[in-house]
A and B are shown apart, each in its own frame.
Chain A
Amino acid sequence: MVKLEFHDPSGVLEVTQPHAPRLASLEGKRIGFVSNEQWQAYRMLPLLKESLEADFPGVTVLPVDAFPQGNAVIGEEEVARLVKISGVDAVIVGNAA
């Protein structure tokens, strides 16, 4: 038999931070949106806000435009800072495509 040994070409990934912990429940929580304003987000995210408010009495869902919007800005540190100081328990990011 001929054995051929060769390198895995995919490199190495480094995990430097954990995913955010999940919430036990959405009851009474404060939820925000980070929107890239693309792909019908202007219709979908308001619908999702309505759904959350209907399904979880006591939940606070911030307006879709509570944080800066748009593909160009949502990845910036300033947006992350605003999200942190807003006191939200979770954010929903949309819409990717």
Chain B
Amino acid sequence: MKNAVSGGGLAPDAAMVTFPINMFLPGSDINPLQERRREIYEGLTGWKSQSARAAGPSKMLEVEGATYEQALDKANSLLLARKWGDGLPLLPATKERVDWILKGAALPRTHVLGKFPPLGGVTTVETCAIALAMAGGRPEYLPVLVAAVEACLAAEGFDQLQATSGGPFPAVIVNGPIAKQIRLNSGFGLLGPDPQHPAGASIGRALRLLQQNVGGALPGVGTMAMFGAMRYTNAVFAEAEDELPSGWLPHGTQRHGFDPGTNSVSVVFASGVANVRRRGAKKETPEEDALNGMWRMADFMRAPNLAVLAGWEKGTPGVMMIGPVVAQRMAEVGWTQQSIREFLWENSKIPMDQMRRAGAPAYIEIDSNPKTRASIDLDPWPISIKPDNIVLVVAGGGHPTHSYWLQAHSPTVPGRVIRTPETFERLLDEADRDLGGNV
């Protein structure tokens, strides 16, 4: 709440009276409200902001140690004490390291990308570089991080996504040649960790640090994300564009209209994941194998997950990831991207009697979007307004057994073109020098 006040341009505090959560549950004893009512009256009369002014310009911090190791430990302890860490070791964002990261900037370091909600910290290219430096990143990762931040800041309701108890986290899908160039994974283990493809971990971790340190999404304080959803690194991965079946479009083209070959990011806010064992076990024909797998995917999607309401019209109910081998075999027996989406949409519809027994209609009735509210008349109830809302991405290891369903709480799916500096090729050469040949 205080974050939201700050995000609105007010000093970062508010006249609030807080109570334990139990009072806010159905059937609760609300007498404590009566007992503490004078605190509420005080909020309207005598309360004064304790923040005479907001935080000033970004500062430099300093620690000392007898050795570099001691200084490094002190720096990490200081970052945790200030609630700016994530529990894993960080690289202090020294001037030298940040300047190095900024070699990847296509925009001036002081360029303002926006205010990171809900706290409202002003986010510049330099702010991103500081986070990426702390997260162990490299200069060639910065263009993807900046584009991902731009996409997040453009997302509808991003302030609420940051704070809500469901804990949606950014899943950043990267298209274009930059993915391979910076060693972003689209294959085995693409959601990490993978030392052969370290970019996604650093970029996603930097994004998470920005969400927390600049946007205020501190667990239990600025974000009520109950479970946290493995958000150390968010999910940053590439589509396996080189392995798309003939005629299939890259995600950035299908969803955002970017020309094939454009470096781009697309951000879905995911709230959970499910591994779907889609491959048959015995003597299925290719057609049966494909169809059985499609049913298993649809069955996972056909759940009254009310988070999908947020993106029912303009966003997405989730990302279905199918491996390149699977995509190829399905294409060979006649499936297209469109027919896959249509099958999944049609067969993930939920009978309204099942919606009713789960109490789902009440959530539909209070939705802010009139089109979503009107969907209460649909039986069975589709998890999005149209098949195209389902994000279908070809990615994953060269293996036919599984698909992966990232269920979403995503009012929109913002996309952004990635801008690289003129010196980008040199940065890639330096990466080859430092990390060895790009696999």
Chain A positions near chain B (C-beta within 8 angstroms): 1-19, 22-26, 31, 37, 39-40, 43-44, 47-48, 51-52, 55, 70-73, 90, 92, 95-97
A52 to B41, CA, bound (A): 8
Task: Decide if A40 touches B23 in the complex (CB within 8 Å).
Answer: yes
Contact of B45 among A2, A6, A26, A55 (CB under 8 A): A26
Known: A1-B65, A43-B30, A73-B368. A13 touches B58 (CB 8 A): no
- The answer to whether B121 and A96 have CB atoms under 8 Å apart is no
The 6 closest A-B CB pairs, nearest first, are A72-B368, A11-B121, A16-B9, A6-B92, A13-B54, A39-B24
Option from A4, A25, A31 in Cβ contact (under 8 Å) with B65: A4
Name the A residues within 8 Å of B66 (CB-CB).
1-2
Please report the C-alpha to C-alpha distance between residue A15 and residue B95 in the assembled complex, in whole angstroms.
27
Known: A2-B65, A3-B62. A9 touches B122 (CB 8 A): no
- B residues 17-59 with Cβ under 8 Å of A? 21, 23-26, 28, 30, 33-34, 37, 40-41, 44-49, 51, 53-59
Contacts known (A15-B11, A47-B30, A55-B37); A3 close to B64, Cβ less than 8 A: yes
- A7-B130 contact, Cβ under 8 Å, with A13-B54, A55-B41, A92-B40: yes
B127 within 8 A of A: yes
Question: CB-CB < 8 A to A26: which residues of B?
Answer: 41, 44-45
Rounded to whole angstroms, the CA-CA distance of A26 and B92 in the bound complex is 51
Most chain B beta-carbon neighbours within 10 Å: one of A5, A37, A72, A90: A5
Interface core residue of B24, B121, B130, B366 (most chain A CB under 10 Å): B24
How far is B366's CA from A56's CA once the two chains are assembled, in angstroms? 35
With A44-B30, A92-B40 known as contacts, the answer to whether A11 contacts B122 (CB < 8 A) is yes
Question: Complex formed: what's the CA distance from A25 to B176 in Å?
Answer: 62
CB within 8 Å of A: which B184-237 residues: 209, 213-214, 224
16 A–B contacts from the bound complex (CB under 8 Å)? A2-B71, A5-B61, A7-B59, A7-B130, A9-B84, A9-B93, A10-B84, A13-B6, A14-B122, A15-B51, A22-B45, A22-B47, A23-B45, A31-B44, A40-B23, A44-B30
Contact pattern, B 172-183, Cβ under 8 Å of A = 1, otherwise 0 = 000000000000
B94 → chain A closest CB, angstroms? 5
Let me know if B60 is at the binding interface, CB within 8 A.
yes
Q: Which residues of B have CB within 8 Å of A22? A: 44-48
On whether the beta carbons of B33 and A44 are closer than 8 Å, the reply is yes
Q: Chain B nearest CB: distance from A31 CB in Å?
A: 8
Q: B168 near A: Cβ within 8 Å?
A: no
C-alpha spacing A88/B164, complex, angstroms = 31
Total contacts A-B at CB 8 Å: 167
Interface size on B, residues (CB 8 A): 78
Evaluate contact between A4 and B63: CB separation under 8 angstroms. yes
Residues from chain B with a CB closer than 8 A to the CB of A71 are 368
B28 near A40: Cβ-Cβ < 8 Å: yes
Return the chain B residue nearest A24 by Cβ: B45
Is the pair B70, A8 in contact by a Cβ cutoff of 8 Å? no
Known: A1-B64, A9-B134, A15-B54. A47 touches B33 (CB 8 A): yes
Q: Once the chains bind, are A11 and B127 in contact (CB under 8 Å)?
A: yes
Partner of B55, one of A13, A44, A90: A13
Q: Say if the beta carbon of B98 comes within 8 Å of chain A.
A: yes
Contacts of A8 in B (CB 8 A): 58-61
Is B415 positioned at the interface, with any CB of A under 8 Å from its CB? Answer: no
- CB <8 Å contact, B44 and A40: no
Name the A residues within 8 Å of B75 (CB-CB): 4, 6
Minimal beta-carbon separation of A51 from chain B (angstroms): 5
Residues in B with CB closer than 8 Å to A31 are: 44
Within B352-377, which residues are at the interface with A (CB < 8 Å)? Answer: 366-368
B residues less than 8 Å from A9 (CB atoms): 79, 84, 93, 127, 130-131, 134, 209, 213-214
Residues in A whose Cβ lies below 8 Å from that of B24: 39-40, 95, 97
Q: Nearest A residue to B53 by beta-carbon distance?
A: A15
Closest to A50 in B: B34
